[in-house]
Amino acid sequence: MIPGILQLSDCIDRCQKNHTCRALNFETGLCVLLTTAANDQTTVLTPSQYPVFTIFAQKICLNENYQKCANKGWSFERVLGFELKDKDLRKIQLTNRFACMQACLSEREFICRSVNYDPDTGDCTLSDMDRGSINPTHDLKMRTFGPSSSGSIEYIENNCIEGLYKLFKILKKNPNLKMSNNKC
């Protein structure tokens, strides 16, 4: 337990530098390094009993395209019980969440920004959209991102994408700078 750490990035940095740290729990002002990880046992994770901002993070091993994630604090962000609806470009059957995340990193046809993974069925859907790239005026109204229909789906967002890709994509579609500025 490391009290007095106010930034999540500092807590992650401590875990990355500690070879016995497999996961961490961060509550504002308190960083707890853990020697075990939750892996696919989501039932061992429970909401904090205290009214504070809490984040659980764990180390994962990536087989391919690791270089995309090398300078990131974390590779993926997972939101249990939520999904990005009607934005899937590819659906595949996989045995676990990590295989689904790996499929996202390995995707060659499009930039995979997020996946929905259903541990009950093994359905892994890949999307070129994420919470930050959906259309706020249309998709929020249509509840494109929200609680999952089955309750078991996990929304997983890829954090290994280069930040300027969104701007590049907009400029490519709209060569007129004024038009592009209106989209950002």
d(CA 45, CA 8): 19
Q: By the 8 A CB rule, do 93 and 125 touch? A: no
pLDDT > 90 in the chain, percent = 28
Q: Is the pLDDT of residue 140 over 80?
A: no
Give the residue-averaged pLDDT of 31-54. Answer: 69
Find the helix or strand (DSSP H, E) in which 2 lies.
Answer: strand 2-3
Maximum separation of any 2 CA atoms in the chain, in Å: 53
pLDDT at position 167: 42
* Average confidence score pLDDT of the chain: 77
| pLDDT bucket at 138, cuts 50 / 70 / 90 | low
Q: Which residues of 85-116 are buried (b: 16+ CB within 10 A; e: fewer)?
A: bebbebeeebeebbebbbbbbebeeebbbbbb
Residues of the chain with CATH 3.50.4.10: 65-184
What the block records as the tokens of 72 is 């990131």
The top-level CATH class assigned to 65-184 is: alpha beta
pTM of the model: 0.71
| pLDDT bucket at 99, cuts 50 / 70 / 90 | very high
| pLDDT bucket at 55, cuts 50 / 70 / 90 | confident
d(CA 44, CA 169): 40
pLDDT at position 154: 92
Work out whether the CA dihedral 126, 130, 106, 119 comes out positive or negative.
negative
Who has greater pLDDT, 4 or 105? 105
pLDDT at position 145: 72
d(CA 180, CA 170): 6
Q: By the 8 A CB rule, do 171 and 126 touch? A: no
pLDDT at position 110: 93
